[in-house]
Amino acid sequence: MKTYYQLFVAFFRSGILGYGGGPASIPLVQKEVVDIFKWMDNDEFGDVLAIGNALPGPIATKMAGYIGYRVAGFMGMIVALSASIVPTIILMIFILTSLSTFRDQPWVHGATRAVVPVVGVMMAVLTWQFFENSIKGLGLNKSIVLIIASFIFIGLLNLHPGIIIVALLLFALTRSNKASKPKKEGEKSK
């Protein structure tokens, strides 16, 4: 029961504070899952995020579903998903009714614009952490090459990030299959 409560709290907090949608809530989910409740480490979280980004649908609910299932099974998934979407439902009802009343007020425009830099900083911190993790796993040179290639394919050529992730997963699978095949007698190792 305590685990369900912790799952609800973790995903409710990240859902209620994740102003700007799924990508803005990722650093908050990471804080809850990695730092506060220690259900996984940064590397595992990065893997979940990468796979979640490759799949269709909102990232926040995919991550809540997987992490909830991993922590407490099927009911944990239901609790985490519910906690992830309930804040949005409540806030949409409250904010839309309030903002429709005050939408022409300058303070409403200022408040919504003021949040953008905060979300930008949260995303930059998360990006830096992923860059540090990639250096640990791949090394500096490979990480930089992948960042540049990703920028070219995603930023300049508008290729969907899921295609890049699937291509990298397939590349990794072919490499691991080649490495795991037993060598025939008389073959020299390269």
Q: For residue 9, what are the contacts with CB-CB under 8 A and spacing of at least 6?
A: 83
Residues written for the chain: 190
pLDDT of residue 54: 78
Lowest-confidence region among 45-54, 72-81, 102-111, 152-161: 102-111
End-to-end CA distance of the chain: 54
Helix (H) or strand (E) holding 32: none
In whole angstroms, what separates CA 167 from the centre of its chain? 19
Query: For the whole model, what pTM was predicted?
Result: 0.60
- C-alpha to C-alpha distances, 94 to 83, 86, 87, 186, nearest whole angstrom: 17, 12, 10, 73
CB-CB neighbours of 142 under 10 Å: 12
Cα separation of 111 and 93, whole Å? 18
In this model, does residue 187 exceed pLDDT 60? no
DSSP string, 90-123: HHHHHHHHHHHHHTTSHHHHHHHHHHHHHHHHHH
Q: In the chain, what are the domain boundaries?
A: 2-106
- Per residue in 134-186, pLDDT tens? 888 889 999 999 999 999 999 999 998 888 888 888 888 888 777 766 655 55
Cα separation of 40 and 20, whole Å? 25
Cα separation of 173 and 83, whole Å? 35
Cα separation of 26 and 107, whole Å? 27
In this model, does residue 190 exceed pLDDT 60? no
